[in-house]
Amino acid sequence: MNNAGNDCYFKESDSFLIFCDNSTDTPTPYMYSKDSNLQILNISFENHEISITMFVATVCYNSSGGILYKNKTSLILPDFPISFAKNKFIAVGCDTYATFSGREGSTYVTGCLSSCGNISDVINGSCSGIGCCETSIPRDAYRYNISVTSYNNHVGIWEFNPCGYAFVAEDGFFSFSKDNLHEPPFDMVPIVVDWLIPDQTCDDAKKNTTTYMCQENSNCTDAENGKGYQCHCFEGFQGNPYLQNGCQDINECVISQPCIGKCTNLPGTYNCSCPEGFQGDGRKDGKGCTPIIHEKRFHSNDIVLGVSISFLLVLLGVSWLYWGLRERKISRRREKFFLENGGRLMLQRLLSEHEGSVEAARIFTDEELKKATDHYHESRILGQGGQGTVYRGILPDNTVVAIKKAKNLDRSQVEEFINELIILSQIIHRNVVKLIGCCFETEVPLLVYEFVNNSTLADHIHKCAHESTLSWRARLRIAGETAGALSYLHSDASARILHRDIKSTNILLDENYTAKVADFGASRLVPLDRTQLTTLVQGTLGYLDPEYFYSSQLTEKSDVYSFGVVLAELLTGLRALSFERAENERNLSLYFASAIKGERLFAIIDPKVLNEGNPEEIMEVAMLANRCLRVKGEDRPTMKEVQWIEVLMKGDGQASMGDQSCDLEEAEHLLGERSSKCDGILKSNASGNDDSISNQVPFEIESGR
């Protein structure tokens, strides 16, 4: 590398170059782009990676909760994507949540939440949400913005944790300890970016020989991360594939000495041969070389026949032994996976605790599901989520199913799959995705569901391609069917079930737009003698019950709150959380409650809803959503009470929750006239004791799931 930089990079413009700072005794390399000037720690030619340094985003407070110092950090790389495989997004603090956003051309936001009440709760080396949390970053990210904030400004924990901070760093760089809570141990961290030839696919690049960068003895592949291609030397060659004569033949005969006999080096390969008087392939990893034995010829047919029969018997015996051992090995391997993934013993124990039945789900074999998914071919992928990948499968009877496969061998994910199996095995409802069966004899556990073929509710209300397809009546019906399913889970199932992650992406639609509630990996069964469960905060930001967030007390009213957010989505067509909206409009539940309080409800309603819906009908649903979004769970309705929306769904203009639907004085102003059935209620609430979330929640959620 040198100051001129002309020999260090290839680009048609000057938007990127590499240069050395020679102002010190040790020259330091830097990468320059139009928005950044970043120190280079290492360039890995074989892995197509560059290690650079980046700043840490930090916010610090005084003992009374005032901000002493705050900075954000961002990175823009016009040509090189941030490595999703080699980096982690990490946040540190006992009252800290941080977000990673700004992916070009996308509203994608991710982040994590870290909390703890006492330093004794913190575990050194653990970054699972107590004092420290981490998450992955997306593919194809050429830029990012990191923001760090706090819910309580570190009041009460200031003595041992006055600051919160977050950063993207190379995986393995940071090992968390209690000492890190006082202040960040560093200002800069290493981050890995992938380098490639941008803006062209491999196939397109090959069409233009003047600009194609891969030289002789090399070939290109499309980059796994980012938009572009990379060059690689052919097998048997090594070097720089971007330079003329850069890929040189490897002399295996000298480097690895692979032959027992004579070794002859060839371009890209080698050949082994045995000395005279010996036979074989001459390879150390093959048959090697053995002396040639000149056997005597016998003319006796009896001897020849005896030898032949003996040879066949030995061959049959060896074959039988080989196949027997092979089948035994496969059987043991499947049994090992079956037990590791929960197996029948674990499954029967868990189900017996909840009075379930293992016969409720069909047990599939590994071979059945491989055949159904064409060996889990990429073309069969329906979607990917936090727990695993979902494939489209076709059973021998031509039944189309959805097969969920865990991403890795994380034991916590196995327990979530077992939990989902227990939950779904006890549910029989037309608006809940039906569990067909499971498989535990593979390396990762599998669940088999009915196939719901019309995408998610979120796709239909938030994507432009579906804007005109979802009518007001269809929205009412979907809301009513979802409410009915949740009411069944809370009140009518064999054991009371809390879903814990109700959102528009977990409501599937079939070809008739019938709602199907899905994704029970976070759900929990509630014992009959208890009304609530204490659990770690879990869910999706934007839908998360604020009371649950503070108390960690899980009740059925947590599902009611999330359902209220879905109702608000159906009414407005807006996402539950969007950083493209103004700051006071990012969180839909806050924005919705504020619009009702400020008599602006009909200004934010979806135009399609306004054109097709009855104003009084719209108002009643809006009042119901507002009651579901109240901060205190005791002030929200039950899902049994919410089921009145099914009457609206059937077209009864007189449908109502009775007095409960008319709990706001603003209804009179928003409708322009007072309904006689609401008159008494509006009078009784004239004092305005509404405690909706717009008045009670002192924070704003800024991250995705």
Q: Just list the catalytic residues.
A: 501
Report the SS3 class of residue 15. coil
Distances (CA, A) of 291 to 266, 271, 283, 664: 26, 20, 15, 99
Cβ(395)–Cβ(412) below 8 Å:
no
CA–CA separation, 189 and 322 (whole Å): 54
Per-residue HEC secondary structure of 494-554 comes to CCCEECCCCCHHHEEECCCCCEEECCCCCCEECCCCCCCEECCCCCCCCCCCHHHHHHCEE
Distances (CA, A) of 63 to 66, 161, 699: 7, 10, 19
For residue 390, the Cα-to-chain-centroid distance in whole angstroms is 12
Cβ(259)–Cβ(283) below 8 Å:
yes
Tokens linked to 386: 């936090």
CA–CA separation, 89 and 171 (whole Å): 9
CA angle 155, 157, 161 (to 5 degrees): 115
Rg (CA), the chain: 32
**Residue listed under structure tokens 């006055």:** 162
Listing DSSP states for 94-154 in one string gives SEEEEEEE--TT---EEEEEEE-SSGGG--TT--BSSSEEEE---TT--EEEEEEE-SSTT
User: Do the bridges between strand 362-363 and strand 435-439 make them parallel or antiparallel, or are there none, so unpaired?
Assistant: parallel
Q: Which of 492, 496, 636 is nearest to 562 (CA)?
A: 636
Q: How many CB atoms lie within 10 A of CB 362?
A: 13
Most distant CA atoms of the chain, gap in Å: 120
Provide the CB-side half-sphere exposure for 482 (13 A, CA). 30
Report the SS3 class of residue 330. helix
